[in-house]
């Protein structure tokens, strides 16, 4: 196989396209800097690269080497995969293979989905990336399929249906490849769905297992749902989990309860807003940690679970860091789910008075008690959370978590929910769900946060909220993008902005870095879209007109930019 590909590549004068990405390659992804084979630049999703060719001293010389147009006006949230000189990128309706050296297209695979699909996709018509193994690229389709594409030819190899848009499900995440299965989750927490996670055979697409996040009748945890509420209880699984090969545990996050109005589903509602530690062979839940039992505020905890080891209270612990949407930063022992730290990392938070470190449960504030009694409130953080889907990074060099964070409140008035096909099943008065920002303050900060205290060592504020992932490097840099188009590099120690480049549209993607022939490159998607762009103008316009004006001036247009140092 390898030989044949090599021959073909030489003849065509093209880069080697396929070749073996074995499970070992995936396992070593964080350490091998000449490729990017996994979401989060390693199964542990630290988004840290030890590369230091581009560093705080020379980043001023970073220049674009190429721009690749995706021919698409939707939001671009995908992280690229880079293997053997080829970059694989996804949009909501296509997968592209691009020659990293030239920025030229090698193949493109287009996807069709029914025109009804976008109405059950709340927060951006996007795709967040691909996974690879043994010459196959795995991705999901917006209308609920998992497909494998030949990395060599771009042809579809298999297609398996995971979910139906008729039931309110959609799919946007990058799959996770583990030795036992390709694992995927679903979106649809606002549309009366019941979240689940699937395992697939990478070679054939055969369905291996399904784990419903909300237990059915007779299963442990179903008693936390009154009556039939478990059937439409939400708990979507729309962001990729991380994986520890030594412990053989997958750490997958789950989303909000449905409807948002939690009085209609009294109880803890397992396993909404949780991290599930699962066996990749079966989906068996080994342990779980629920961040916000009976959550009414759309605090999805699907976001990345960062795996690292660190000294805590004199002991070296295998931990999992979670920058929770509910405004607290958690550190758990990832061998057993023990809560080690839970500290507020946002300035404005009024839904809880803290986290009880013994039970691990949040303490309802007076505001939340009022809301539960039916009163209208303004909750901080609002439904966007202290941090939304955009992934944080962790640098073992500085010990800091780098995350874009939000200071946005939201009006909240519970009403009786109505389950209507194709519409929001939330049970709150949407005409009162306005976004609020604090006068005289920014509502978006890039922060370098100590995970053990939740305190920011430094922060940089932005007028329009950042909606992009971050990446930390051994060169002492943190990269992220702005929705106003700037791709930026900051000093990881103090947050000084060292470099920026205007990419033409807004950035809501996930930067990566890698080397080709010993030269370090940085790549990021540009192309505005996503939840903030969808809803902030609609529901925040009256409270922040100047922000909306700046945001809505940004033009759509998806592309990938690749940068290197000027020689």
Partner 1 sequence: MRARWIKTFGIGATMLATMTLTVSAQAAGSAETGKELYNTYCVICHGPNMVNSGARAFDLRKFPLGARARFVKSVKDGKKGRNEMPAWGDILTAEEIDHLWAYTKTRGRL
> Least Å distance between CB 312 and partner 1?
43
3-state helix, strand, coil in the chain (%, to 5): 10, 35, 50
Q: Is 533 in the site for partner 1 (CB under 8 A)?
A: yes
Rounded CA-CA distance 265/135 in Å is 45
How far apart CA 239 and CA 186 sit, in angstroms, is: 8
Q: Which of 12, 538 has the CB closer to partner 1?
A: 538
How far is it, in rounded angstroms, from Cα 78 to Cα 330? 26
Catalytic annotation, pick one of 298, 429, 493, 517: 298
Q: Is 119 in the site for partner 1 (CB under 8 A)?
A: yes
Say if residues 386 and 346 touch (Cβ distance below 8 Å). Answer: yes
Is 316 an interacting residue with respect to partner 1 (CB under 8 A)? no
Candidates 118, 360, 399, 504; binder of partner 1 (CB under 8 A) is 118
Q: Is residue 166 flagged as an active site residue?
A: no
Q: How far is the CB of 534 from partner 1 (least distance, A)?
A: 5
Mask: binding to partner 1, 282-301, rule CB under 8 A, as x and -?
A: --------------------
Which of 460, 427, 473, 168 shows the shortest CA–CA distance to 298?
Answer: 427
- The residues, ordered by sequence, that sit 6+ positions from 362 with a Cβ below 8 Å of its Cβ are 291, 292, 293, 326, 328, 351, 352, 354, 355, 356
Among 1, 57, 60, 114, binds partner 1 (CB under 8 A): 114
Listing DSSP states for 84-153 in one string gives TTEEEEEETTEEEEEETTT--EEEEEE----TTGGGG-TT-S---B-EEETTEEEEE-TTSEEEEEETTT
Residue from the set 8, 20, 94, 548 that interacts with partner 1 by CB under 8 A: 548
- Of the two residues 276 and 528, which places its CB atom closer to partner 1 in the complex? 528
Instruction: Please state the closest distance from residue 498 (CB atom) to partner 1, in A.
Output: 31
Site for partner 1 in 377-436 (CB under 8 A): 420-424, 430-431
3-class secondary structure, 27: helix
Nearer to partner 1, 243 or 425 (CB): 425
Select the span of 11-19, 396-404, 447-455, 536-544 touching partner 1 (CB under 8 A).
Answer: 536-544
Note whether 463 binds partner 1 by CB under 8 A. Answer: no
Concatenated DSSP letters for 234-280?
B----SPPEEETTTTEEEEE---BSSS-GGGG-S--TTTTEEEEE-T
The closest of 193, 181, 140, 469 to 304, measured between CA atoms, is 469
Tally helices (H) and strands (E) across the chain.
5, 38
| Nearer Cβ to partner 1 (316/431) | 431
Within 62-91, the residues that bind partner 1 by CB under 8 A are 73
* # of chain residues touching partner 1 (CB under 8 A): 26
| Shortest distance, position 548 Cβ to partner 1, whole Å | 6
Shortest distance, position 394 Cβ to partner 1, whole Å: 33
Q: How many CB atoms lie within 10 A of CB 306?
A: 27
How near is the Cβ of 426 to partner 1 at its closest, in Å? 10
Using CB under 8 A, which of 117, 222, 350, 500 touches partner 1?
A: 117
**Which are the catalytic amino acids?**
298
Tell me which residues touch partner 1 (CB under 8 A): 73, 114-119, 122, 125, 420-424, 430-431, 533-535, 537-538, 541, 548, 551-552, 556
């Amino acid at each position: 196989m390898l030989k044949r590909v090599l021959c073909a590549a030489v003849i065509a004068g093209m880069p080697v396209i396929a070749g073996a990405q074995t499970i070992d390659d995936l396992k070593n992804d964080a350490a091998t800097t000449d490729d990017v084979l996994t979401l989060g630049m390693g199964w542990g999703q630290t988004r840290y690269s030890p590369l230091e060719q581009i560093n705080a001293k020379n980043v001023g010389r970073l220049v674009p080497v190429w721009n690749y147009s995706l021919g698409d006006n939707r939001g671009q949230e995908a992280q690229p995969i880079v293997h053997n000189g080829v970059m694989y990128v996804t949009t909501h309706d296509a997968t592209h293979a691009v020659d990293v050296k030239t920025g030229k297209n090698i193949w493109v695979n287009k996807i069709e989905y029914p025109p009804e699909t976008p109405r059950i996709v709340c927060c951006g018509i996007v795709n967040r990336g691909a996974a690879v193994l043994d010459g196959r690229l795995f991705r999901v389709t917006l209308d609920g399929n998992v497909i494998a594409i030949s990395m060599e030819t771009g042809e579809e190899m298999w297609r398996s249906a995971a979910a139906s848009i008729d039931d309110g499900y959609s799919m946007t995440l990058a799959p996770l490849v583990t030795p036992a299965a390709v694992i995927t989750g679903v979106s649809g927490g606002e549309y009366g769905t019941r979240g689940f996670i699937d395992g697939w055979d990478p070679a054939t697409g055969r369905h291996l297992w399904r784990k419903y996040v909300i237990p059915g009748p007779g299963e442990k945890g179903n008693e936390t749902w009154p009556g039939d509420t478990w059937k439409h209880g939400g708990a979507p699984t729309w962001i990729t989990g991380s994986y520890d090969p030594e412990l053989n545990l997958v750490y997958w996050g789950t989303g909000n309860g449905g409807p948002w109005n939690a009085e209609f589903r009294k109880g803890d509602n397992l396993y909404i807003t949780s991290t599930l530690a699962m066996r990749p062979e079966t989906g068996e839940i080994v342990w779980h940690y629920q961040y916000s039992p009976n959550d009414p505020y759309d605090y999805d905890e699907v976001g990345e679970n960062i795996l690292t080891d660190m000294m805590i209270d004199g002991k070296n612990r295998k931990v999992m860091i979670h920058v929770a949407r509910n405004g607290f930063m958690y550190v758990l022992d990832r061998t057993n789910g023990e809560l080690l730290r839970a500290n507020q990392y946002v300035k404005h938070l009024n839904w809880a008075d803290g986290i009880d470190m013994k039970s691990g449960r949040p303490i309802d504030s007076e505001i939340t008690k009022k809301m539960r009694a039916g009163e209208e409130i303004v909750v901080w953080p609002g439904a966007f959370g202290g941090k939304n889907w955009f992934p944080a990074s962790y640098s073992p060099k500085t010990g800091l978590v780098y995350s874009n964070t939000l200071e946005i409140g939201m009006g909240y008035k519970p009403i009786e929910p109505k389950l209507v096909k194709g519409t929001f099943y939330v049970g709150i008065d949407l005409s009162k769900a306005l976004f609020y920002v604090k006068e005289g303050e920014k509502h978006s900060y890039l922060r370098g946060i100590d995970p053990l205290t939740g305190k920011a060592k430094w922060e940089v504020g932005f007028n329009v909220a950042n909606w992009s992932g971050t990446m930390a490097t051994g060169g002492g840099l943190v990269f992220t993008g702005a929705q106003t188009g700037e791709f930026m590099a900051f000093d990881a120690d103090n947050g000084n902005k060292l470099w920026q480049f205007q990419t033409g549209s807004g950035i809501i993607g996930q930067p990566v870095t890698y080397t080709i022939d010993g030269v370090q490159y940085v790549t990021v998607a540009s192309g505005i879209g996503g939840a903030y762009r969808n809803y902030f103008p609609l529901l925040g316009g009256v409270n922040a007109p100047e922000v909306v004006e700046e945001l809505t001036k940004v033009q759509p247009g998806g592309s990938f930019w690749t940068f290197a140092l000027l020689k």
